[in-house]
């Protein structure tokens, strides 16, 4: 029996009717809201063809939108990898038995979780050059800021996931002679990562959207190139914002779909029971005459 079946209480007939009515009511309300937004934009002449015509030109995509999208994906991709590494390292640090490791790791995580990301990017770009006596590019200011903030959040998620694994598994691993780093790396972390997959994906989606904060240091991401710069040339800020929002929605939906596929894939592999084949000539009927059915793979 899957965990979802254990935790989810299936609705009865009355609950199904109530859910269906509420779905219809909220669906009608959502359609009404969308229609109201459409009419307000129409009164402001935001649906005029001249405002949307630039998106039919290839130059609009090759000079503004696609370069901004590439910059967004590049910063998000590097930030995701570094954030996951940061989160794993500091989650292990916080779980260390040595106070001189766990206490500083906890201070680092709590500090970077408390600092606003926009302020962090601003300080890295404008303040760090005074410390290192050299410039920091806009790309690395955005990536480092994303790594420090989202990595700290992921560190807490990993720590909670590791704590949630039943203690008997650690005790069994220690009983067969495994060291603590082996228990963490081979027993606890894989299970915690799978259990915390929804939170991890949600934080990575947040990271992708937070690349838009790079405008504070003039990083040429999608919001800067596809909305600000493009609207400055054609005066169609609403149209540009809608197109950029659709692009963000498509990318985040693909990321969420991939996470769901990965969760289903790992779930199938984790709970697959191998078929048991009896040796040649062995009697498959146990003592007492009962027939044992072969487990389904």
Quickly state the pLDDT bin for 289 (edges 50, 70, 90): very low
Answer whether residue 28 is part of any domain.
Answer: no
Q: What is the mean pLDDT of the chain?
A: 86
Both tokens of residue 142? 């955005």
Whether 193 is in a domain gets the answer yes
How much is the pLDDT for 26?
95
- Assigned domain for 164 exists: yes
Residue 149 lies in a domain: yes
Q: Which pTM does this prediction carry?
A: 0.79
Q: Would you say residue 285 lies in a domain?
A: no
245 part of a folded domain: yes
- Cα-flanking dihedrals φ and ψ of residue 12, to 5°? -85, -175
How many domains, the chain?
1
pLDDT (mean) for 157-162? 89
Q: CA 233 → CA 58, 161, 230, 241, distances in Å?
A: 15, 49, 5, 14
Nearest to 144 by CA among 158, 152, 103: 152
* Cβ(208)–Cβ(252) below 8 Å: yes
Which CATH number fits the domain that encloses residue 229? Answer: 1.10.3720.10
Percent of the chain with pLDDT over 90: 58
- Containing domain of residue 124, as a range? 63-267
Structure confidence by residue, pLDDT tens digits, 71-96: 999 999 999 999 999 999 999 899 88
Distance, CA of 285 to CA of 295 (rounded, Å): 15
User: What is the per-residue burial (b if ≥16 Cβ within 10 Å, else e) of 119-141?
Assistant: ebbbebbeeeeeeeeeebebbbb
Name the nearest CA neighbour of 206 among 157, 267, 139. 157
Q: Is residue 43 part of a domain?
A: no
* Confidence at 273, pLDDT banded by 50, 70, 90: very low
């Amino acid at each position: 029996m899957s965990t979802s079946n254990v935790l989810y209480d299936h609705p009865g007939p009355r609950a199904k009717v109530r859910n269906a009515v509420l779905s219809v009511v909220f669906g009608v309300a959502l359609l009404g809201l969308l229609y109201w937004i459409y009419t307000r934009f129409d009164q402001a002449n935001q649906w005029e063809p001249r405002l949307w015509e630039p998106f039919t030109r290839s130059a609009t995509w090759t000079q503004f939108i696609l370069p901004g999208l590439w910059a967004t994906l590049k910063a998000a991709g590097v930030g995701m990898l570094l954030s996951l590494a940061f989160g794993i390292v500091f989650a292990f640090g916080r779980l260390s038995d040595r106070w001189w490791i766990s206490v500083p790791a906890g201070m680092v995580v709590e500090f970077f979780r408390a600092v606003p990301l926009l302020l962090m990017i601003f300080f890295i770009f404008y303040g760090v050059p005074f410390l290192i006596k050299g410039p920091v590019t806009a790309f690395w200011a955005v990536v480092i800021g994303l790594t420090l903030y989202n990595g700290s959040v992921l560190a807490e998620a990993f720590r909670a996931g590791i704590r949630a694994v039943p203690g008997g598994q650690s005790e069994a691993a220690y009983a067969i002679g495994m060291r603590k780093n082996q228990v963490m790396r081979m027993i606890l972390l894989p299970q915690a990562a799978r259990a915390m997959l929804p939170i991890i994906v949600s934080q990575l989606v947040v990271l992708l959207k937070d690349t838009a904060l790079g405008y504070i240091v003039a990083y040429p991401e999608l919001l800067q190139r596809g909305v600000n710069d493009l609207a400055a040339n054609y005066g169609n800020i609403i149209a540009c914002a809608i197109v950029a929002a659709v692009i963000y929605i498509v990318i985040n939906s693909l990321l969420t779909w991939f996470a769901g596929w990965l969760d289903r894939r790992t779930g199938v592999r984790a709970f697959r029971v191998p078929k048991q084949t009896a040796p040649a000539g062995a009697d498959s009927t146990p003592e007492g005459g009962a027939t044992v059915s072969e487990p389904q793979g």
